[in-house]
Structure 1
Amino acid sequence: MMNNSMTLIMAGRQQRRRRWIIVTGSLAAVSCVLCCAMLLLGNTIYPVQDVIRTLLGEQIKGVSFAVNTIRLPRMLAGLFAGFAFGMGGSVFQTMLRNPLANPNVLGITTGSSAAAVFCIVILHTSDSIVSIASVIAGLATALLIYTFSRGRTFSIGRLILIGIGMQAMLNAVISYLLLVSAEPDVPAALRWLSGSLNGSQMHELPPLIITVLICVPVLIVLMKHLSILELGEQSAASLGVNTDKTRMVLIVGSVCMIAIATAVTGPIAFVAFLAGPIAKALVGTGLSAIIPAGLVGVNLVLAADLVGQFAFEVRYPAGIITGILGAPYLIYLLIRMNRKGDL
């Protein structure tokens, strides 16, 4: 009897692991296809061999400028920002055991946006200063929300309520800044707020790429602790997890990725919110979904950018497309949670 039970447990574990590998591999394959489409498609569709030769360093008239200056930075920005949004959002949702607990809803990206808009319309600073201010403001907002939510003991519900309040306040700040700003400055601020890969430049990408390459391994190492935190505060502590230290590292790593991604692309709406639930639905229970969530984020950003460029007569930023997808899901989630009594 015991042997049969162990056999069933091992078979179930292998099945879940096989499903995880298939889903993750499929998402990675779709990401590769979308990356290739980003390089090939545009006002002019270039032959694959010309694009490859250009990427290898050969100079081809017309192709080199289009691919190296416009399409490659755009693709890399979507790739790394999408992964940062997807993985960071999934970490928040898993750690806090609530699909609403993501940087979009908690106001962290709104903090970055408020700082960026202030720099654009009031200080008229350079793009690099806008990016730095955006990152610092995102980290500061996350620190404030976490500090206010602690009280005597850490409370997930308190954190979400404080985050939603912070988001409302910062949105009001953004509205005020746009209202009092000079008319010529408003379009630049609105373009940034829409969340777009337009105008991505290669010199802007190293901070994002380096941050993702540093933070992703740290978050992967902490995946086991993240799964234990899902069991609840007392259960995690009884299993030997230093909950405060682990949570702080997870928050800092996730916020750093999301804040720098926001500084590069603007707040691409709902990617951090949608990627985790989609990845969990695909992977199933039992194994961490943060890596698949990162790949889902990549696919959402790149696909939204391609749809915004080519599906309509007017070109739309990626954030408009993801916002159209995310808003109905947020309404559905709120209704479902209200019926369950989770709100």
Structure 2
Amino acid sequence: MSLIDDEVELPATVPSRPACRVGPVSLVRRTTMIAITAGLLLAAFLLLCINIGRGDFAISVPTVAEILFGGGTKVERFIVMDLRLPRALTALLTGLALGISGAIAQSILRNPLASPDLLGITAGASAAAVALIVLAGGGSFVGLLAVLGIPIAALIGGIATAVIIYALAWRGGVQGYRVVLIGIGFNAMLIAAIQWMLISADINDVARAQVWLNGSLNGSDWAQVWPVAIGVAVVGTIALISSFTLGALRLGDDNARSLGVRLQTGQATLLLAAVALASIATAAVGPIGFVALCAPQLALRMLRTAGPPILASGLVGAVLVVGSDVIARTILPVELPVGIVTSALGGPFLLYLLVRNNRKVSV
């Protein structure tokens, strides 16, 4: 038999991961990623129930879950739904926003140190809020100004700082290390400006600003929950829809262009979403340090993906903030603002990332 007449049967190609098609949309089903994400969602809900149940009037986790789904007595429903749930939901939504924000920033800039609290975005929001507190004064700081003034000022301050940093870092495109260096410089200047305002302000305004600057969830109510929930829902949905663009941007500028991504438009849209989420979180409860830095890196190591996953990073951020609030309220001898606990946990992780990056550069 000649070689031409022989029929060689080639092995059938089997996809490494099963595909899932819904109409024109085709997705890859990653079982491990789905399982870990579901586990994070369950952990966030469990911590939410624990946070709600702890207090002077203790309520068990099963009872809290029952009340959340419509059960329980009238007194228990009042304690859970009116007194404790707003604070717990604010913590969860804030952590979700910070986690997603950090994942977007680190993916676009391709730098694990690129987070809103290190780039100066959080400091810009804080500086605007502190300026409003100091300039408004104790007597006029009431009513609508107290409810809407600080969140709006913090949102404007964060976005304005991001625009300035982006413009200064622009040189035919945006480079990760250039943005990080400029952001660190801006962060230092804004912190100095905040300290100057605190030194020159009235002692009562300083006390109010100092509590806010430590990232406090005290006094959270439904008036705070709804703006954060709407902002996270809208901007977070945009970020999830743009996950393909984010994945392409992780491959580098040339590869992203070859995949049909409009580079500058995609970068600007996603960075604006990251800044908006960080500013919304800061406007709600004040600056909460290191969550946007740690959450994406923890999610990356848990799921072993090419870059920080958006949804899992948000869930890790929610777990960190709600868990830190449980520690700050019930485990420590004195109740502390949640931002102090997250900073104490995130500081060592920042040192780990710096040492790890230094070793990579040395190699």
**With structure 2 as the length reference, what TM-score do the two structures score?**
0.87
SS in 1 for 2:281: helix
Q: Is the 8 A contact 1:16 1:286 kept in 2?
A: no
Are the structure 2 counterparts of residues 2 and 327 from structure 1 closer, same or farther at C-alpha, using a change threshold of 3 Å?
farther
Match of 2:351 in 1: 331
Mapped pair 1:105 → 2:118: yes
Asked if 1:159 is matched to 2:159, the reply is: no
Q: Secondary structure at the match of 2:57?
A: coil
Residue deviations 1:94-152, cap 9 Å, x none?
11110111111100011001111111122234231011000011111111111111123
Q: Which residue, out of 232, 245, 248, partners 1:225?
A: 245
CA change 1:102–1:287 in 2 (3 A) is: closer
CA apart distance, 1:68: 3.0
SS at 2:305's partner residue? coil
Secondary structure in 2 matching 1:147: helix
Write the mapping of 1:205-220 to structure 2, written as runs, cut at 5 A: 205-220=225-240
Residue 85 of structure 2 aligns with an amino acid whose one-letter code is: L
Task: Identify which range, 51-60 or 160-169, moves more after superposition.
Answer: 51-60
Residue 205 of structure 1 aligns to a residue in which SS?
A: helix
8 Å Cα contact 1:215/1:253 also seen in 2: yes
- Check if 1:7 corresponds to 2:1: no
2:319 equivalent in structure 1:
299
Residue 338 of structure 1 and its aligned partner are, at CA, apart by 2.3
Equivalent positions of 1:263-302 (< 5 A) are 263-286=283-306, 289-302=309-322
Distance 1:291 1:3, change over 3 A: farther
Aligned with residue 28 of structure 1, among 24, 36, 41: 41
* Root-mean-square deviation over aligned CA pairs: 2.5
Give matches, 1:70-89, under 5 Å. Answer: 70-89=83-102
Say if 1:64 and 1:153 are closer, same or farther in 2 by CA, change over 3 A.
Answer: closer
Q: What letter matches 1:79 in structure 2?
A: L
What is the CA–CA distance in structure 2 between the aligned matches of 1:73 and 1:51, rounded to whole Å?
A: 15
Distance 1:176 1:329 in 2: 29
Equivalent residues in 2 for 1:245-260 (5 A)? 245-260=265-280
Distance 1:77 1:11 in 2: 37
Shift of 1:287: 7.5
Q: For the structure 1 residues 49 and 285, does the alpha-carbon distance in structure 2 shift closer, same or farther, using more than 3 Å as the test?
A: closer
Structure 1 residues 223 and 184, CA gap change in structure 2 (3 angstroms) = same
Q: Output the CA distance in 2 between the equivalents of 1:51 and 1:331.
A: 38
Take 1:331 and 1:286, find their aligned partners in 2: how far apart are those partners? 22
Matches of 1:164 and 1:286, distance apart in 2 = 26
Quick check: 1:104–1:270 contact (8 Å CA) kept in 2? yes
Paired positions, count = 340
CA contact (8 A) 1:16 1:287 kept: no
The code of the aligned residue for 1:295 comes to L
Cα 1:130–1:331 shift into 2, 3 Å: same
Is 1:145 equivalent to 2:165 in the alignment? yes
Tell me which stretches of 4 or more aligned residues in structure 1 moved more than 4 Å: 11-16, 47-55
Which runs of 5 or more structure 1 residues have no equivalent in the other structure? none
Q: Which residue pairs with 2:128 in the alignment?
A: 115
Q: Does structure 2 retain, via aligned residues, the 8 Å contact 1:54–1:60? A: no
- Quick one: structure 1 residues 268 and 50, their matched pair in 2 at CA, closer, same or farther if it must change by over 3 Å? closer
2:144 pairs with 1:131: no
2:53 aligns with 40
Q: Which amino acid aligns with 1:211?
A: G
The structural deviation recorded for 1:187 is 1.6
Distance 1:275 1:3 in 2: 43
Which residue of 2 is the match for residue 60 of structure 1? Answer: 74
Q: Deviations over 1:167-197 (max 9, x none)?
A: 0110000110111011122121111111121
1:242 aligns with 2:262: yes
1:95 aligned to which of 99, 108, 111: 108
- Contact kept, 8 Å, 2:90 with 2:217, in 1: the verdict is yes
Unaligned runs of 5+ in 2: 1-8, 21-26
How far residue 3 of structure 1 moved from its aligned partner, in angstroms, is 3.8
Cα distance in 1 for residues equivalent to 2:349 and 2:223: 35
Q: Which has the larger radius of gyration?
A: 2
**Deviation at residue 238 of structure 1 after TM alignment:** 2.3
Give the superposition deviation at 1:159.
1.0
TM-score when scaled to structure 1? 0.92
C-alpha distance in 2, partners of 1:340/1:49?
49
Secondary structure of 1:244 counterpart: helix
SS in 1 for 2:16: helix
Answer yes or no: is the 8 Å Cα contact 2:214–2:339 preserved in 1: yes
CA contact (8 A) 1:87 1:254 kept: yes
Label 1:241 to 1:15 Cα distance change in 2 as closer, same or farther (>3 A). closer
2-structure distance, mates of 1:229, 1:15: 19
